[in-house]
Structure 1
């Protein structure tokens, strides 16, 4: 397996001092959509010592960086990822949704030398000395509603220092309980997948529940720093939220609407639609 820097020079996956781009520690924020991960990652990034956690492996981001289907494409992209995601102390940060992690490891296995490697082995190779921080929401219904609104408006994050109306924030949204139900089921599966990953690999991880993060913000951030074994250069530095709250009256109104509909009805209707699609597809 070979890795190349932006100048085409070969690099090796080694933590030796001569490999300047490779981090000495990696903070992997394991997440699902609308879990509060933007708030957590932006806050940690602003501290400038916990890496700069971003979604480097979003499908659209990979396309923009000409990473489509092969390991060499991935290796040419990785130096850019290390530069963008690292802080001066050589700590690297990254945010991974479950699906993005699976896509990354699948891409890596197109390298014959990694074909038999486990997900953890691949993550540890690309992101040395990893610490895993798992963020989830306690209320999956509200998370699913947030996802439904986000997909319709295209607004998923509002920086803390942003003033004015985000682009598309005034876009009209439509309540669709079936979509919310399906988002909720998907979020639950992905949370379970992350937990199974930690359990199967006997991995310690720091769990952050969004509702607790909002309620006890600074203590929760300090707990994450302690788990990651990172000390602030200035213990007196103020820890401020990195994003603005997005939920509004629409979220609360949709929650009331959704709670009026038995989920058993939505489950049955969802199954019926899937069965009809399969039946009609076979008849073509």
Structure 2
């Protein structure tokens, strides 16, 4: 990630001037490469949902702690609730499932954020999401707007397999956690964000009982699509190898043998 783009999220120009703490929270419950960046920026453009960013991502959280001169995660979030809540008292945050630990799990999350409303964001095509993740891991190109990396990604069956398992597991984990605790949840598909941004934001506003200035609702996505023909070729190759069975069986046999060697070493 280019440093300028990464550091922009910490710029004080994104703070809201009213200095009022949040009374309601929008939590985008997401997984990596699910389109949460696109959704967060579209919501920010309305001025009614704070600035939904990955405040709980470990690297980001470390920077915020240093900037705000605090060591405690809860205190950091309390300060962000003042800085980044929109004038209507709404704070927004994106949380990938694995970042819950930085907040102290669900209990810590509920303690941090007032009146949380969860938008569960998923992609219909989890295979495409997994390949996108595998490519981003190699190139470091995580969001649109970055300078293109010089790294030429290489197809690796194991990386796509691991990425797919992560996406499926974390999607299911979010679904279980929210359902098991009876938390207010609006399921949302990435395709809806991309193809009908205006209606998507209106649906979120209705779900949260938030008033909107309709003139500020984006009619089209505010970020650009990153996927290319490379992604499609990787999907085709992975699915071919998986359907043939040999590559999948060999890969998992090697992993099982490795674990046994470590266990009985």
TM-score interval (norm. to shorter): 0.7 to 0.9
> Structure 1 residues 53, 238: closer, same or farther in 2, change over 3 A?
closer
Question: Counterpart of 1:156?
Answer: 142
Contact 1:140 1:184 in 2 (8 A): yes
- SS of the residue aligned with 1:206? strand
Q: Deviations over 1:47-76 (max 9, x none)?
A: 111121111111212333458xxx962234
Contact 1:28 1:93 in 2 (8 A): yes
Contact 2:40 2:94 in 1 (8 A): yes
Contact 2:201 2:217 in 1 (8 A): no
Matches within 5 A, 1:218-233: 218-232=198-212
Take 2:73 and 2:172, find their aligned partners in 1: how far apart are those partners?
Answer: 28
Question: Counterpart of 1:198?
Answer: 178
Q: Deviations over 1:244-267 (max 9, x none)?
A: 111112112212222211255454
Shift of 1:102: 2.9
- SS of the residue aligned with 1:151? helix
- SS of the residue aligned with 1:269? helix
Take 2:247 and 2:236, find their aligned partners in 1: how far apart are those partners?
Answer: 16
Question: Counterpart of 2:24?
Answer: 25
1:181 to 146, 154, 161: 161
Shift of 1:216: 2.4
1:262 to 224, 242, 245: 242
Return the TM-score normalized by structure 2.
0.83
1:272 to 249, 253, 258: 253
Shift of 1:168: 3.9
Question: Counterpart of 2:226?
Answer: 246
Which shifted more, 27-36 or 221-230? 221-230
Contact 2:29 2:119 in 1 (8 A): yes
- SS of the residue aligned with 2:135? helix
Shift of 1:86: 1.6
Shift of 1:146: 0.5
Which runs of no fewer than 5 residues in structure 1 stay unpaired? 1-19, 107-118, 160-165
Contact 1:52 1:86 in 2 (8 A): yes
Question: Counterpart of 1:236?
Answer: 215
Which shifted more, 49-58 or 238-247? 238-247
* Residues 1:167 and 2:147 are matched in the alignment: yes
* Residues 1:40 and 2:39 are matched in the alignment: yes
Take 1:201 and 1:76, find their aligned partners in 2: how far apart are those partners?
Answer: 25
Shift of 1:124: 2.5
- SS of the residue aligned with 1:143? helix
> Structure 1 residues 25, 278: closer, same or farther in 2, change over 3 A?
same
* Residues 1:141 and 2:135 are matched in the alignment: no
Shift of 1:242: 2.3
Take 1:138 and 1:65, find their aligned partners in 2: how far apart are those partners?
Answer: 33
Take 1:40 and 1:145, find their aligned partners in 2: how far apart are those partners?
Answer: 20
- SS of the residue aligned with 1:236? helix
